[in-house]
Chain A
Amino acid sequence: MEVLKEKVEEEEAAEREEAAERAERMEKMRPAEVQKEETILTQEMLRNLEKKLSEIKIPTPAEPLVVTEDTVDISNLPLSYKTNTPKEEHLLQVADNFSRQYSHLCPDRVPLFLHPLNECEVPKFVSTTIRPTLMPYPDLYNWDGCANFVSDFLTRVPLPDPLKPPSHLYSSTTVLKQQKGNCFDFSTLLCSMLLGAGYDAYCVNGYGSQALCNMDLTREVCPLTVKPKETVKKKEKVQPKKYTIKPPRDLTSRFEQEQEIKKQEEAKAREEKRRWEEEERLLEAEKAKPDPLHGLRVHCWVLVLSGKREVPEGFFIDPFTGRSYSTQDDNFLGIESLWNHRNYWINMQDCWNCCKDLVFDLGDPVKWEYMLLGTDKPQLSLTEEEDEGLNDDDDLQDQGKETEDKSFDMPSSWVEQIEISPEAFETRCPNGKKVLQYRRARLEKWAPYLNSNGLVCRLTTYEDLECTKILEIKEWYQNREDMLELKHINNCTGLRTDYFRPGHPQALRMHAYKSMQPENDRVMEFYETARVDGLIKREETPRTMTEYYQGRPDFLSYRHINFGPRVKKFTLTNTESNPRPMVKITEQFSRNPEKPADEDVAERVFLITEERIQLRYHCRDDYITASKREFLQRSEVDSKGNKIIMTSDMCISFEVEPMEHTKKLLYQYETMMHLKNEEKLSKHQAWESELEVLEILKLREEEEEAHTLNISIYDTKRNEKSKEYREAMERVMHEEHLRQVEAPLDYLAPFLAQLPPGEKLTRIQAVRLKDECLSDFKQRLIDKANLIQARFEKENQELQKKQQWYQENQVTLTPEDEDLYLSYCSQAMFRIRILEQRLNRHKELAPLKYLALEEKLYKDPRLAEFLKALA
């Protein structure tokens, strides 16, 4: 590597010197250079020599490895696949020349990947293999969509030799057909799509890490498991206002506080250190064995440069995974060359520090050696332009030499247009299934509608690296009729959580449970806007049920029900017919702005077994205590045997501001009666809630059993009904069309109608029929000609009259009248001309039409047998 570096530096120096004579230099050998090289080969001569020896012979392409060749059916491929056009031949010569010079100048570098063979064993230049195509799917308009599609759609085939670029590079159409390929196939396809979508994309031939080349994601964290970073909301420090009160004086000892803080910090640091060490240890364990072939594994990926499609910064895309990497990433170890559909560049920068120091300024000929001069340089840095300005004279001199090169540009691609059928696009993965192994996670993908239960994606997270202990499973569903979107199963706690999209018949949003048995721990969330009662959430434990509401007209926001143990009944064990007795119902209400706070209940508690009702009212705006009231429901009988209706000790109340009317027994009595009613209602509602839970559980079970899938009415392929309907419509249309063709105008019909019906035609009749028909037609043709003639003459006459009139009155006419006259004349002339044309045309066509009819009549099945003799 050091040698390379030195060499590059040297070359840079040389190039600076000889910038003006580059073209010349490219054509000629440079003996001076060679000499120089030899002088440098002092220190590491041996190694260098070895390398040279091993690599200098490579220009002969490696023998074709028989991998997939036999599976490619080349017979149907178009001609451009099988032969080279003259221009392509020329290009190949240029490339060979370039390659020769390159291997001569940089003998220690691997030969260029320039023109591998295609599926028809024809050498094709790599740039012409790229076929920029914009896909008709909106999902494929952005780079991430394209990258994910390519990574999903194709199956990875390892390179025949992981240390060398492949000998074959198939066209993207073949690759798409086969749905498999190596990294070069992946990159070519992705690059074609990105270029088509308007990105400044390049295929990169270089070296990648082992994980990258083998698509080994086992050390990567699955992107789906990464929790989105919680954006820490910075609380805006409120500027203290002018009259903000001063805080009360702090009387605690500051020293003590400091000591406390110090102690805490120490503890924290210890904890931190311990954790860090732990992590370190874990990381150590997870670290892969060092790769013996590190830095030698050939890989091909895609580079997207900034400038187009609002890409702010260049980045890499690994075509296997479809993930984007920064150009500084550790996985990308070096770049040999890169190309797009226009040109080919060789990296002249040193890659000792992976790709971190590389500058992707392709316009800089010192850093990137280009192959074709004529094509536009993608980027010209400012400094370079200045340089050019300085070297203007030299450029002028060079121009003469370079014109020839400039005139040559990249031939258009030999590859057919890349097409992806909608079915293939939807199926995506080969056979609609794909499995990815991540670090402690496994991701499975399916095409929609492939699984009968609508499963499209499953992520299994494991506790250990060997993936034996399942931690949790997440399953994503699509197109389910019950709107189930995500199923989350936590293996440790056994908690299962189902998430639903809007549209569930019970407006479910989320359902977390451990078992489907009723009266167990569960949480249900609802789309409250879809529910009449505004229920948001219902939590259940074996003994309680809590409900949260929102936006109710009665301002109820919370209801908590405590259940007692079930009274045993031997006859009925059904939960529905034997509800658990309720012990306590707590209801909370939000503030009703229309009522005064003292009359607006904030919380009411029905202690059913104790026959007590507690009320707590809302707090007044400028108060800190709230009114309370407690009712005891006792039905006692006084000494005389009369039922006591209401006594003052049945209602204990605390009022913030004592009022007169609330002290009255009547008021208290009425309130209590009202509350008794409310209690009944609440009990009823609680009971209904229980029933609803049962119903939902039943419904969920049914849905899980049935798992029917929804089919969009726009989905013409899957929607059976619409398909049938459409087919029926098409059939009808077709038949209609046929009928129309079958029933042309029957010329004979009016004449046949004159004959007595039901009798067979005689020969004389037939001849007469024919003659009548023909003469009638003749007459019609003549009539038509006459009609046109008559109109023609009429127009002519009128025009003449007008002309006469004009000549007579010419002197007295006003300019307007004259204008009118002139416009009339031109119109009349136009009409006359048209009529004349029509007449001529009619004259021409009339005999032909007559003959055609005669012909038709001879062939008419009704007359044919009689007229055959005549003809």
Chain B
Amino acid sequence: MNRIYDSVEPRVMDDDLLKLAVGEQGPQEEAGQLAKQEGILFKDVLSLQLDFQNILRIDNLWQFENLQKLQLDNNIIEKIEGLENLTQLVWLDLSFNNIKVIEGLDTLVNLEDLSLFNNRISKIDSLDALVKLQVLSLGNNQIDNLANIIYLRQFKHLRTLSLSGNPITQADDYKMFVYSHLPDLVYLDFRRIDDHMKALAELKYQYTVGELKHQEHLRQTRLEEERAQQGRLEEHKMAFVENLNGSFLFDSMYAEDVEGSKLSYLPIVGELLEVYKDKFVIICLNIFEYGLKQYDKRKLELDTFNECVREAIQENQEQGKLRITRFEEKHLLNLSAIREESELLNIEKKIVECSEDITELFNVLMTLEMQLVEQLEETINVFERNITDMVGLFIENVQSLMAQCRDLENHHHEKLLEIAVSTLEKIVKGELDEELPDDVRALFVDKDTIVNAVGASHDIHLLKIDNREDELVTRINSWCTHLIDKIHKDEVMRNRRRVKEINQYIDHMQSELDNLECGDLD
């Protein structure tokens, strides 16, 4: 159909076109008059119909943030584009266009109904983001591979699929294949799927589908495992003791240490290293467990604090609400009294009374708020003190444990040095029994070299330990400061918001009263 109009100039999706469409499809009659009066903002539009417009390129749609239904059928669109902002879209119709590849739909996570009927698509692809997809229409395209069906297995909500008019439908067991591979499907090619046929198909393809299922299951479990792992690590990070529940730190000490690993070839050093590692790991584990315990403690503290603050705010709110309701009841009565009053003097007197009431309410509410602010400030300060103490204690203990690590390292270093020196002596005397690799032997040329080598290894180790300690301390400190800052900031924000709210309300009440005054005086 498009070919007939090929000679016609393609239309450009400009503001005028969109405005026209919006206006035409907007509210009618009385509401339409109002709409015309005010104009309609594109972001308020929920549904838009742009069919038979000879559009070549999708454009200018970025303002329609809340659009839920978009019809672009019967145009000459060649590429899906410019839909990135329409994240609320539920219904998208792109049928009867010239689209070749499915693309540009990655942000439309709410899409449930997608129609790409009568296009030139040859492969089902790039739909991964559409997790809510229920209806997919891909008829009259050029899909010719049954493997495309397997791709659709990931859409758990897909109920209706249309593939008629594709080369794929010519395949012998096309229907059976679809039935068996998409067991949740209810409609295929505009027909309800027969339960009997479905059972047959399942029987026929039970092995291939079973294999697929198995693979999917494996993938799923692997994913879950990874996620769990990630979660654990995250938790450890929150406790600032990640990777301390094993030999990670120790291994990292030797990872960059060339000399150290060379020296481990020396006699006895291997055993020494083994013992050293065991001890080191035990200390690491201590730190790790201590860290987790402290983390729980801090969390509990924080939770209690949050709960208490929430309760306090809640109670304050309740009181405020109570005052307001009481005031409103009285105020309503007063207003109606004023409306019915005919004597001007009385009216004025009553209005004065009313405005006094309003002022009083304002005072009461503000007092409540100020009171809360004071109370909260005190609590926050207490909490700040406690949490800082806690962090300080934690750091102290971790540092002492780290010092133990360092002691171990020093000890090890001394031993190693001793062994190295004695080995050197042996080598010099030619008494060494074992064969050493060449590069290790290269270290034993003179005393300086070997001492340097051992020293370098030692330095690296110490550096690693220091780094780990520094990292821990910095991170927990920054966490602490951030937390305190955030609490303060939140409280200030809360206070601002409440004051603003009260002011706004009082202003409104006052202006209402003033309006009444004017109205009466008129």
Interface residues of A (CB under 8 A from B): 241-246, 248, 619, 622-625, 645-646, 652, 654, 656, 661, 664-666, 669-670, 673
Does A248 contact B375, Cβ atoms closer than 8 Å?
A: yes
Are A622 and B30 in contact (CB-based, < 8 A)? no
Interface string of B371-386 (1 = CB under 8 A from A): 1001110110011000
Q: Quick one: CB contact mask for B508-520 with A, threshold 8 Å, 1 for yes?
A: 1000100000000
A360 to chain B: closest CB distance in Å?
Answer: 56
What are 25 A-B contacts with C-beta separation under 8 Å? A242-B305, A243-B304, A243-B383, A244-B308, A245-B309, A245-B312, A245-B376, A245-B379, A246-B375, A248-B371, A248-B374, A622-B497, A624-B498, A624-B502, A625-B502, A645-B30, A645-B33, A646-B30, A652-B512, A654-B508, A656-B501, A666-B34, A666-B38, A669-B34, A670-B27
A243:B317 contact, CB within 8 angstroms = no
How far, in angstroms, from A656 to B508 measured CA to CA in the complex? Answer: 10
Assuming the A-B contacts A624-B317, A654-B505, are A243 and B27 also in contact, with contact meaning beta carbons closer than 8 angstroms in the complex?
no
- Once the chains bind, are B365 and A624 in contact (CB under 8 Å)? yes
Question: A664 contacts which chain B residues (CB < 8 A)?
Answer: 38
- Of A244, A245, A624, which one neighbours B324 at CB under 8 angstroms? A624
Q: Give which listed residue, A248, A622, A625, A666, contacts B27 with CB less than 8 A.
A: A666
Which 10 residue pairs spanning A and B have beta carbons closest together?
A624-B320, A243-B308, A245-B375, A245-B312, A625-B505, A654-B508, A243-B305, A645-B30, A666-B34, A665-B34
B505 touches A245 (CB 8 A): no
Residue of B nearest to A619 (CB): B321
- Interfacial chain A residues near B34, Cβ < 8 Å: 645-646, 665-666, 669
Interface pair A625/B324, CB less than 8 Å apart? yes
Which residues of chain B are within 8 angstroms of A646 by Cβ–Cβ distance? 30, 34
In the complex, which of the residues A241, A245, A246, A670 contacts B31, with contact meaning CB atoms closer than 8 Å?
A670
Contacts of B35 in A (CB 8 A): 666
- The smallest beta-carbon distance between B101 and chain A, in angstroms, is 37
Tell whether, in the assembled complex, residue A622 and residue B494 are in contact, meaning their CB atoms are under 8 Å apart: yes
Are A665 and B37 neighbours in the complex by a CB distance under 8 Å? yes
B317: chain A residues at CB < 8 Å are 622-624
Contacts of A624 in B (CB 8 A): 317, 320-321, 324, 365, 498, 501-502
> Could you say which residues of chain A place their CB within 8 Å of the CB of B383?
243
Q: Is the interface of A mostly helix, strand, loop or mixed?
A: loop
Would you call A669 and B30 a contact (CB within 8 A)?
Answer: yes
Closest to A670 in B: B31
At the interface, yes or no: B307 with Cβ under 8 Å from chain A? yes
- Extra contacts besides A241-B307, A625-B501, A669-B34 (11): CB < 8 Å: A242-B301, A243-B379, A243-B383, A619-B321, A622-B313, A624-B320, A624-B324, A624-B365, A624-B502, A666-B34, A666-B38
Q: Are A242 and B505 in contact (CB-based, < 8 A)?
A: no
The residue from A242, A622, A652 contacting B304, defined by CB atoms under 8 A apart: A242
CA gap between A590 and B123 in the complex, in Å? 51
Smallest CB-CB separation from A624: which chain B residue? Answer: B320
Contacts of A665 in B (CB 8 A): 34, 37-38
- What is the bound-complex CA distance between A244 and B501, given in angstroms? 25
Within 8 A of A (CB), among B358-408: 365, 371, 374-376, 378-379, 382-383
Q: Indicate whether B504 reaches chain A with its CB closer than 8 angstroms.
A: yes
User: For the complex, is B311 an interface residue (Cβ under 8 Å from A)?
Assistant: yes
**A246 to chain B: which residues have CB within 8 Å?**
375, 378
Whole-angstrom distance between the Cβ of B139 and the nearest chain A Cβ: 36
| Residues from chain A with Cβ under 8 Å of B311 in the complex | 244
B247 → A minimal CB distance (Å): 39
Q: Is the CB of B44 within 8 A of A661?
A: yes
The complex places the Cα of A665 from the Cα of B36 at a distance, in Å, of 11
Contact across chains for A669 and B378 when beta carbons are under 8 A apart: no
Determine whether the beta carbon of A666 is less than 8 Å from that of B379. no
Most buried by B among A245, A246, A619: A245
A245 touches B378 (CB 8 A): yes
Taking CB as reference atom, which chain A residue is nearest B365?
Answer: A624
**A83-B307 Cα distance, complex, nearest whole Å:** 86
Interface string of B317-330 (1 = CB under 8 A from A): 10011001000000
Q: What is the minimal beta-carbon distance from A191 to any residue of chain B, in angstroms?
A: 62
| A241 surroundings in chain B (CB, below 8 A) | 304, 307-308
Q: Which residues of A contact B320 (CB under 8 A)?
A: 624
Q: Which residue of B lies closest to A653 (CB)?
A: B508
**Chain B, Cβ-Cβ closest to A621:** B317
| Contact between B309 and A243, CB atoms less than 8 A apart | yes
Q: How far is the CB of B522 from chain A (nearest CB, A)?
A: 13
Give the distance in Å from the alpha carbon of A664 to the alpha carbon of B309 in the complex: 39
Interface string of B19-52 (1 = CB under 8 A from A): 0000000010011011101101100100000000
Least CB separation from A614: chain B residue? B332
Q: Which of A622, A646, A666, A673 neighbours the largest number of chain B CB atoms within 10 Å of its CB?
A: A666
**A623-B378 Cα distance, complex, nearest whole Å:** 22
A243 / chain B contacts, CB cutoff of 8 Å: 304-305, 307-309, 379, 382-383
* B27 contact set on A, CB distance < 8 A: 666, 670
B383 nearest in chain A by CB position: A243
Closest to B312 in A: A245
**A660 and chain B: residue at smallest CB distance:** B41
Q: Which of B31, B375, B382 contacts A669 (CB 8 A)?
A: B31
Query: What per-residue 1/0 map shows which CB atoms of B71-95 lie under 8 Å from chain A?
Result: 0000000000000000000000000
Complex alpha-carbon distance, A652 and B27, angstroms: 23
Interface centre among A242, A624, A652 (most CB of B within 10 A): A624
- Residues on A with beta carbons closer than 8 Å to the beta carbon of B505: 625, 654
Bound complex: CA A622 to CA B316 (Å): 10
Give chain B residues whose Cβ lies under 8 Å from the Cβ of A244: 308, 311-312
Q: How far is the CB of A633 from chain B (nearest CB, A)?
A: 14
Q: Interface readout for B285-317 with A: 1 if CB under 8 Å, 0 if not? A: 000000000000000010011011101110001
Q: Is the CB of A666 within 8 A of B324?
A: no
- Nearest residue (CB) in A for B377 is A245
Q: Are A242 and B494 in contact (CB under 8 A)?
A: no
The interface residues of chain B lying within 8 Å CB-to-CB of A669 are: 30-31, 34
User: From residue B395, how far is it (CB to closest CB) to chain A in Å?
Assistant: 22
| A interface footprint on B89-127 (CB within 8 Å = 1, 0 otherwise) | 000000000000000000000000000000000000000
The distance in angstroms between the C-alpha atoms of A246 and B377, with both chains bound, is 11
Chain B minimum-CB-distance residue to A667: B44
Instruction: Determine how close the nearest CB of chain B comes to the CB of A619; give it in whole angstroms.
Output: 7
Q: Which residue of B lies closest to A243 (CB)?
A: B308
Residue of chain A at shortest CB distance from B319: A624
Q: Which residues of A contact B494 (CB under 8 A)?
A: 622
Which residue of chain A lies nearest to B40 when distances are taken between CB atoms in the complex? A666
| Distance of B284 from chain A, by nearest CB (Å) | 33
Smallest CB separation, B506 vs chain A (Å): 10
CA A245 to CA B378, docked complex, whole Å: 8
Which residue on chain A has the smallest CB distance to residue B386?
A242
CB distance from A620 to the nearest CB of B (A): 9
* CA–CA, A242 and B34, complex, Å: 58
**Cα of A243 to Cα of B382 in the assembled complex, Å:** 8
Closest to A661 in B: B44
A623 to B498, CA, bound (A): 7
Contact for A242 among B308, B321, B497, B508, CB less than 8 A: B308
**A545 CB → nearest B CB, Å:** 22
A265 to B365, CA, bound (A): 35
Minimum Cβ distance to chain A for residue B90 (Å):
17
Interchain CA distance A664-B34 in the complex, whole Å: 9
Chain B contacts of A622 at CB under 8 A? Answer: 313, 317, 494, 497
Q: How far is the CB of B61 from chain A (nearest CB, A)?
A: 20
Q: CA separation between A245 and B374, bound complex, in Å?
A: 10
Note all chain A residues with C-beta closer than 8 A to B375: 245-246, 248
Given contacts A622-B494, A624-B365, contact A656 B309 (CB under 8 A): no
Query: In whole angstroms, how far apart are the Cα atoms of A244 and B378 in the complex?
Result: 10
CB distance from B326 to the nearest CB of A (A): 13
Residues of B within 8 A of A654 (CB): 505, 508
A173 CB to closest chain B CB (Å) equals 71
Q: Which residues of chain B come closer than 8 Å to A248, judged between CB atoms? A: 371, 374-375
Which residue on B lies nearest to A244, using beta carbons? B308
Nearest-neighbour CB distance to chain B for A260, whole angstroms, equals 23
